[in-house]
Structure 1
């Protein structure tokens, strides 16, 4: 729904609420239109740092990744994360995946992530763990990997999680 256009019956009300509360609403439709148009004209779309900053800020606000209400400290955190992960493209698709995984973990719902080799599963989870201060243990599962191997590899992380029940582990 694009609240900046008058196509929705509640667009006027949303614009008023947005202005009243000084909300910055990120417009998925507008972003897609802009990228598509740019790619048509230039063959490739390169996202600027400001757009990545806004997306990471949105992710941290949704998932409670900020440890402070101080806007300067929040800005510094986003800048540090962008610098640390300068090779990671934070897309809206990835934001949605991270949010879905995060809230499932917080609700004690198991998450299974599958995909082709090299599709970005580990990269997404490492970025998520870094951005949201989550302890992560990575296990390489491959052909010949047995249930016994998995049980052995999970012993230490499970003991650590038992010792620190208030922490989130990935």
Structure 2
């Protein structure tokens, strides 16, 4: 007689809602910080978890039947689950309750003017652990690491084998600094326009499509309004627009900017109001225009 030790995947659409008292006990037991936060933050927190866990449960890579073929899959599922919960805490709680005021703001007893570093980026830059994002395409996982050199080669090989997408902040920073040095030399010699790797930009755009779950079987709103027929998928249309448009092509798609776009998109998906703050000229308008397309 054979017994299946792997239970079936839970269908979230068939699960019953908890009553108010049961939900309160659940939060106090597993998410104590969230239990003491505002109802708006609680709603945002659990909506974000639902989106991420639904994609995780439906991911081919992490389905229960795959565990029989790859025993390490359970370990990855645990690590990703833990990371998703931490990310939800950052987006829906810490980001609002751990704002660092500068000296002037403290002296004048005023709210933050938004000049401090975006909390999620700060967390990513300084974290010694990998942070996982469940991409909304339900096919892949993204990994945020502060420095690739601090991750063991064995783990990097595992990421590559599993097809995880790496976002290495230190590598991105180094490449930007190098590009700036080259730009200064080129501009000094020939007064040329800023050189930009459109191939790298396109690669990052297509990763962003995966993370946000942008469907390819559609057409851009611009083409729809102008009744322009196109054989291209939506992804190619967006890439062409953002890489070739006179205004938008100059936007630098750093990993920091990608992370900000992800945070904004996820908050909108959870019906959470988003307010962008920052000093004049920091790139708020450009970021929103880019994300809007």
Band the TM-score falls in, shorter-chain normalisation: 0.5 to 0.7
Q: 1:24 to 1:79 in 2, by over 3 A?
A: farther
CA distance 1:114–1:42, change in 2 (3 Å) = closer
Task: Look up the SS of the partner of 1:43 in the other structure.
Answer: helix
Partner of 1:136: none
The answer to whether residue 180 in structure 2 is matched with residue 39 in structure 1 is yes
1:55 Cα deviation after fit? 1.8
Q: Pick one of 198, 208, 213 that aligns with 1:59.
A: 208
Q: Which one has a bigger Cα radius of gyration?
A: 2
Q: Which residue of 1 aligns with 2:155?
A: 13
Higher-strand-fraction structure? 2
Post-superposition offset of 1:8: 2.6
Aligned length: 123
Distance 1:46 1:16, change over 3 A: same
Alignment RMSD, CA only?
A: 2.8
Calculate the TM-score normalised by the size of structure 1. 0.58
Aligned partners of 2:261 and 2:272: how far apart in 1? Answer: 14
* Structure 1: gaps of 5 or more residues: 131-170
Say if 1:117 and 1:30 are closer, same or farther in 2 by CA, change over 3 A. Answer: closer
- CA distance in 2 between counterparts of 1:34 and 1:13 reads 23
For 1:16 and 1:118, the matched residues in 2 are separated by: 41
Q: Secondary structure at the match of 1:25?
A: strand
- Quote how far apart the aligned CAs of 1:100 are: 0.7
The aligned residue for residue 239 of structure 2 is: 78
Q: 1:123 to 1:83 in 2, by over 3 A?
A: same
Change (3 A) 1:39 1:80: closer
Deviations along 1:70-96, one digit per CA (max 9) or x if unpaired, are xx7334542333223223222222211
In structure 2, stretches of 5+ residues that fail to align are: 1-144, 186-193, 218-231
Superposed, which structure 2 residues align to 1:1-170 within 5 Å? 1=145, 2-3=147-148, 5=149, 7-9=150-152, 11-18=153-160, 20-40=161-181, 43=184, 46-68=195-217, 73=233, 74-84=235-245, 85-130=248-293
Question: In structure 2, what is the Cα distance between the partners aligned to 1:88 and 1:53?
Answer: 12
- Once the two structures are superposed, residues 6-53 of structure 1 have per-residue CA deviations (whole angstroms, 9 ceiling, x without a partner) of x434x31331341x3344534332222223234346537743111211
